[in-house]
Amino acid sequence: MNAPKKNLNVLILGGGGREHAMAYKAAQSPQLGQLFVAPGNAGTAQLATNLALNPEDPAAVEAAVRQHGINLVIVGPEAPLVAGLADHLGRQFPDGSVGVVGPVAAGARLEGSKDFAKAFMAKYGIPTAQYRSFQAHQLDEALAYVANHPLPIVVKADGLAAGKGVVIAHDVATAQAALQGMLSGHDFGAAGQTVVVEQFLPGIEISVFIATDGQSYTLLPMAKDYKRQLDGDQGPITGGMGAVSPVPFATRDLRTRIREQVIRPTLAGLRAEGIDYKGFIFFGLMVVDEQPYLLEYNCRMGDPETEVVLPRIETDFLELMQRIAHGGVRDLELSLRAETCATVICASGGYPGPITKGYPITGLDATHDTPHSLVFHAGTALKDNQVVTAGGRVLAVSAFGKDVVEATTRAAQRAEAVQFEGRFFRRDIGLDLLRFQPEAE
Ligand code: GLY
């Protein structure tokens, strides 16, 4: 590995709670020179210089890297990676002077194509739900397949669909409507013109993250996210209404199975395919009778999981990022904060449906903080020096506690102090986990 720089100029791409949490950790690093976030939000503007550029435009990112002397680019969301941003920067800076945290497009395909991911899992013996893929010209075959398949059944658009491309159908009509919408191109354009239809696995979900330099990896704290809009896991599926880490049912035995049955074969498979993967891998797992089944890969960190995972990592964040980009992850022992961290999302009224933006947000100033809370901005913007809402998920309010009850209660108390028109949040994040006996990570 190159000698660590003490004046790293860092560019974080993205503008949500995940990227604010990354900026928060980067800003604590003694290695940081200047910090830029593109496009960022009102929260990142307090820690970094926000750049008004589109992360999916490789030429614009390259220009910013040159203009600001960036040494390290950390890519938050998946779309720039699937579109080949890491490949572009690798070609433009072949001497390795610009490290990139995020895989090349061939690696990002694990998220960019559900069909590719399922074939990869099958090829490398990774436990997953049984499935079949269909293309647009196979609509009749797909309709007949779901009519004869036990319910529920899961229909997934192959490509990126902004988190909306998965339908869990409890009846044949819903499955067939999803197939028609996707395969016709009506619902998700080209992203839906191949679909994966898979067996529904009943169990409990867990989000598992690794950081890898392509040769070795380190396991990051595991998390559980809460996708339903309302308390009690009611309401529509959202991008995530909260998260908690650690996850008490992730016992030592389960963690060993995840490493041996999921993580190792994935990394071996990537190497066998000749893919030099440098970045995060997010394994979306379903645990069924204490066995892990891989539902999906993501080529990035989760959101809102990052807002509980990163605060728990005490190791210098930029040291970890440098080692992902340049090698040496194997030799870095992560130091973790043992307490529980919970985050609750303050969302705009109507989310995940249509929302109104531009409402002023109050209660953000530090006088409302407690020593245990952190407020990460997600969908916020600055308008006339006032922080206003700018998205469905507006803030991720994280807090530490000795257990999940204390962490979630503190996060909800801090969230209560934040006000904007239509704001709502869940108060039960993590409380379903009380039935499990915690085991040290
Ligand atoms: N929280 C799920 C995701 O980031 O995709």
**Residue 195 confidence (pLDDT):** 93
Tokens coding 285: 């797992």
Q: List, in order, residues 6 or more apart from 327 with CB less than 8 Å away.
A: 1, 213, 214, 215
DSSP type of residue 362? B
Amino acid (one-letter) located at 375: V
Q: Which residues pair with 154 in a beta bridge?
A: 168, 198
| pLDDT for the residue 255 | 97
Quote the pLDDT of residue 260. 98
One-letter identity of residue 182: M
Pairing of strands 8-14, 32-39: parallel
For 328-335, what is the mean pLDDT? 95
Q: Is 298 in the pocket of ligand 1 (CB under 6 A)?
A: yes
In angstroms, rounded to a whole number, what is the distance separating the alpha carbons of residues 380 and 395?
8
Residue 5 is predicted with a pLDDT of: 55
Please tell me the predicted confidence (pLDDT) of residue 244. 98
The whole-angstrom separation of Cα 171 and Cα 149 is 10
How big is the chain by its Cα radius of gyration, in Å? 21
Average pLDDT, the chain: 95
pLDDT in tens, 104-114: 999 999 999 99
Confidence of residue 3 (pLDDT cuts 50, 70, 90): low
- Region 156-165: what's the mean pLDDT? 88
- Atom 4 of ligand 1, nearest CA residue: 302
Residue 353: CB atoms within 10 Å = 11
* 319: its two tokens: 């040291």
Helix H, strand E, coil C: the string for 78-91 is CHHHHCCHHHHHHH
pLDDT surpassing 70 at residue 2: no
- pLDDT score of 15 more than 90: yes
Find the 304 Cα to ligand 1 centroid distance in Å.
Answer: 7
Query: Which residue type is seen at 385?
Result: N
Name the pTM for this structure: 0.95
Mean pLDDT on 279-304? 97
Per-residue exposure over 363-375, b if at least 16 CB sit within 10 Å of its own CB, e if not: bbeeebeeebbbb
CB of residue 303 inside a 6 A radius of ligand 1: yes
Decide: 240 in ligand 1 pocket, CB within 6 A.
yes
Q: Whose Cα sits closest to atom 2 in ligand 1? A: 302
Q: Is 190 helix (H, G, I), strand (E, B) or coil?
A: helix
Mean pLDDT of 170-197: 93
Measured between alpha carbons, how far is 374 from 21 in angstroms, rounded to an integer?
Answer: 9
pLDDT in tens, 393-437: 999 999 999 999 999 999 999 999 999 999 999 999 999 999 887
The separation between CA 364 and the C-alpha centre of its own chain, rounded to angstroms, equals 24
| Alpha carbon of 239 to ligand 1 centroid (Å) | 6
Give the closest residue (by CA) to ligand 1 atom 3.
Answer: 302
Give the number of other Cβ atoms within 10 Å of residue 130's Cβ.
Answer: 11
Residue whose token pair is 């006032």:
386
Pocket test for ligand 1, best of 19, 224, 305 (most atoms within 8 A of CB): 305
Reported as a single tens digit per residue, the pLDDT across 363-399 is: 999 888 887 999 999 999 999 999 999 999 999 999 9
C-alpha angle 83/84/85, rounded to 5°?
105
- Tokens matching residue 331: 């030799």
Of 22, 82, 207, 345, the one to substitute when testing ligand 1's pocket (max ligand atoms within 8 A of C-beta) is 207
Q: What is the Cα–Cα distance from 432 to 430, expressed in whole angstroms?
A: 5
Strands 393-401 and 340-347: antiparallel
pLDDT of residue 4: 54
